[in-house]
């Protein structure tokens, strides 16, 4: 869809990864840029992912489909940022290029690590990494009923870009 | 489409505006129709803002040729969703079949306007083909 609208003004710079912090449960978390080297850790995270937390068909459920999907996400044109804890990956945020010089965004956090501020830090880290790599336009879709997610995206500077489809579409200008 | 009323054959109406998921749905529906003895009608919808209906019709006919299957193909003008729902009702089709949506760059399923309209407004069962 090339008719997607973006805000006129770019947002302020986001912090670039790596970022270290303790989450609201006091667990030490590191938000870092990631890539193909993390494939096996990501497969492990998505195999543990609660099916109820899936959105619009992703992540896929069975391991073969997870691997096919991750191959697209870990392509060198995409941008990946992960949240690490205790040697494993507990959160993953991604920017994947579309056909219109913009990037689609998604973020996933493992169930027991949700609600502790990790998603927000992951998203900031991802958008900071996007700014570092010169990305200007980012969009996402979110289910209309998912108010917490919509509020979070809004707080980060996303604006509603299309309210006419099944899912709500939001966009941000990074530069 | 595996459910059958009293073992009767079903009269199936598939609507497509020519997007890849619609053509995939066509292939799958033909396969089921063959097994179940269903009768299939393909409605070529007027999505002229996105695709030339003539071009869509020839792609549908090509696909049917490839599958070696004979189906009634009809061109429908006007608002795609409402015309499909209308046709299904006026000619008493048992079921409407449409494509299951496209994938975003990240792999998210995106349901289009047609799917939304048909799911909400049809007065009979609708199959989304994945």
* DSSP per-residue string spanning B69-116: ---EEEE--S-HHHHHHHHHHHTT-SEEEEE--EE-TTS-EE--HHHH
Q: Could you tell me if B113 lies within 8 Å of chain A, comparing CB atoms?
A: yes
Q: Are A22 and A124 in contact (CB under 8 A)?
A: no
- Residue B46 within a domain: yes
- The answer to whether residue A1 scores a pLDDT higher than 60 is no
Domain that holds residue B77: 11-129
Contact A106/B106, CB-based, under 8 Å? yes
- Residue A67 within a domain: yes
- Residue A140 within a domain: no
- The answer to whether residue A47 scores a pLDDT higher than 80 is yes
Q: Could you tell me if B49 lies within 8 Å of chain A, comparing CB atoms?
A: no
Measured between CA atoms, how close is A25 to chain B, in angstroms?
A: 31
Domain that holds residue A100: 19-134
pTM to 2 decimals?
Answer: 0.85
Q: Could you tell me if A171 lies within 8 Å of chain B, comparing CB atoms?
A: no
Which residues make Cβ contacts (< 8 Å) with residue B68, sequence separation at least 6? none
- Residue A12 within a domain: no
Run means of pLDDT, 10 residues per run, chain B, 130 residues: 63 94 95 95 89 93 96 95 97 96 92 90 95
CB atoms near residue A162 (< 10 Å): 16
Give the number of domains in chain A: 1
- The answer to whether residue A5 scores a pLDDT higher than 60 is yes
Q: Could you tell me if A167 lies within 8 Å of chain B, comparing CB atoms?
A: yes
A122 phi and psi angles, rounded to 5 deg: -60, -45
Measured between CA atoms, how close is A166 to chain B, in angstroms?
A: 7
CATH value at residue B53: 3.40.50.620
- Residue A170 within a domain: no
- Residue A11 within a domain: no
Pairing of strands B72-75, B39-44: parallel
Give the number of domains in chain B: 1
CA–CA separation, B72 vs B13, rounded Å? Answer: 10
DSSP A116: S
CATH value at residue A106: 3.40.630.30
Q: Interface pTM (ipTM) of the complex?
A: 0.89
- Residue A89 within a domain: yes
Helix H segments across chain A?
Answer: 39-47, 63-73, 118-132, 147-156
- The answer to whether residue A163 scores a pLDDT higher than 80 is no
- Residue A152 within a domain: no
pLDDT of residue B7: 63
- Residue B6 within a domain: no
């Amino acid at each position: 869809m090339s008719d997607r609208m973006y805000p006129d003004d770019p947002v302020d710079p986001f912090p670039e990864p790596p970022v270290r912090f303790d989450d609201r449960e006091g667990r030490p978390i590191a938000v870092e840029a990631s890539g193909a080297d993390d494939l096996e850790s990501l497969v492990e995270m998505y195999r543990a992912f609660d099916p109820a937390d899936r959105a619009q068909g992703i992540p896929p459920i069975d391991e073969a489909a997870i691997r096919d999907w991750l191959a697209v996400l870990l392509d060198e044109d995409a941008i990946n940022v992960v949240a690490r804890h205790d040697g494993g990956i507990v959160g993953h945020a991604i920017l994947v290029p579309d056909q219109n010089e913009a990037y689609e965004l998604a973020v996933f956090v493992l169930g027991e690590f949700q609600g502790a501020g990790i998603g927000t830090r992951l998203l900031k880290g991802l958008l900071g990494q996007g700014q570092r790599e010169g990305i200007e336009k980012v969009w996402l879709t979110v289910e209309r009923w998912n108010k917490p997610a919509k509020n979070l995206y809004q707080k980060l500077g996303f604006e509603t870009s299309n309210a006419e489809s099944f899912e709500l579409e939001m966009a941000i200008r990074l530069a | 489409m595996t459910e059958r009323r009293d073992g009767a054959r079903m009269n199936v109406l598939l609507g497509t505006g020519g997007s890849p998921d619609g053509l995939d749905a066509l292939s799958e529906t033909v396969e089921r129709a063959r097994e179940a003895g269903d009768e299939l009608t393909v409605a070529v919808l007027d999505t002229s803002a996105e695709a030339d209906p003539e071009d869509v019709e020839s792609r549908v006919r090509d696909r049917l040729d490839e599958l070696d299957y004979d189906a009634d193909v009809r061109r429908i003008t006007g608002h795609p969703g409402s015309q499909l729902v209308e046709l299904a009702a006026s000619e008493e089709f048992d079921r409407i079949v449409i494509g299951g949506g496209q994938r975003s760059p990240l792999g998210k399923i995106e349901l289009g306007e047609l799917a939304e309209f048909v799911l909400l407004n049809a007065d009979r069962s609708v199959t989304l083909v994945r």
